[in-house]
Structure 1
């Protein structure tokens, strides 16, 4: 029996994300910027108060890249362009009209209790989301994701000791790129000592690699 299925050699996307990352990262992730632009472009012709524009930016425009940022370190140029689009929309720019930005956009990153608006710093958000994936690998060693990544990239070492290799995927490279976020605030629980490296793991404040701890793993 023959079925009318079309055979394909490969898939450009899977679950909305690219399956292959070439040399031009900006070209691959341009689709993320375009999605944000399409949303903002549709809103520009409508009347919105500045408070309304704030809600749209937070709930939709800055949320669109979040899915991709959980898996990939997006190019800085893409993140900066998204920031520019959100900034122009917030100040009420329409079409090619340019309006004055009365406050530096970076000041809006602060919470409202500190005089800001609570907008996301896209670069920091990207690294935080990738650090969250790194945390899952460290703390859920029995998960399928952790087992696959450990078997492929660091079979004989811990995650914090995993080395960068030329044949690694861009997803793994992105996660390793956010590893320092964990190292800045991680503390090892000694427990029975079987998994603790006395001179390497940050477990006592007198060691050189111990930093202000905010998270704990066993």
Structure 2
């Protein structure tokens, strides 16, 4: 297991712990939907707004959400009538509107990039500009020498955003 995956293992553990805390209670499908959207998928939101979470970690969280949704009884998996990806479509397109966490993570990071572009005089932008893109824009910034963990795994050259 690589170190980046280890850094975010606690997010998966929090989701699992929350599901275990709910125990074997019988929730309606509407109740499960609300719990997944408002609790389980909200757990990694803050970390996702700051860091690019590994896709494997997002997949593990989605897997735990899917297991909770479909239910597991006596150690046996129940019938999955639709794929998780189809449940992630908007309700207008026949899904339930669950988030695809990799895409949600990307959108939250793009929102941070937008804030840097719109508020170039903010403290965080001035600090990052002095360190990583002193003579250009944030869109042209590279990793630089000895980047911070946040810059390397969020805003640096590793993450490419479509421009235009």
Shift of 1:95: 6.1
CA deviation profile, 1:38-63 (whole Å, cap 9, x unmatched)? 11112241110111111100000000
Gaps of 5+ in 2: none
1:175 alignment partner in structure 2: 155
Q: Is the 8 A contact 1:91 1:100 kept in 2?
A: yes
Q: Which has the higher contact order (CA 8 A, sep 6+)?
A: 2
Query: TM-score, normalized by length of structure 2?
Result: 0.92
Q: Relative to structure 1, is the Cα distance of residues 43 and 25 closer, same or farther in structure 2, using a 3 angstrom cutoff?
A: same
Q: Which moved more, 1:53-62 or 1:85-94?
A: 85-94
Q: Is the 8 A contact 1:44 1:94 kept in 2?
A: no
Gaps of 5+ in 1: 1-22, 187-218
CA–CA distance in structure 1, aligned partners of residues 144 and 74 of structure 2: 46
Please point out which of 98, 104, 107 is paired with 2:77.
Answer: 98
Please point out which of 111, 118, 127 is paired with 1:148.
Answer: 127
Q: Relative to structure 1, is the Cα distance of residues 118 and 58 closer, same or farther in structure 2, using a 3 angstrom cutoff?
A: same
Corresponding residue pairs, total = 161
CA–CA distance in structure 2, aligned partners of residues 25 and 148 of structure 1: 24
Structure with bigger gyration radius? 1
Query: TM-score, normalized by length of structure 1?
Result: 0.70
1:58 alignment partner in structure 2: 37
Please point out which of 157, 164, 168 is paired with 2:136.
Answer: 157
Q: Is the 8 A contact 2:72 2:78 kept in 1?
A: yes
1:26 alignment partner in structure 2: 5
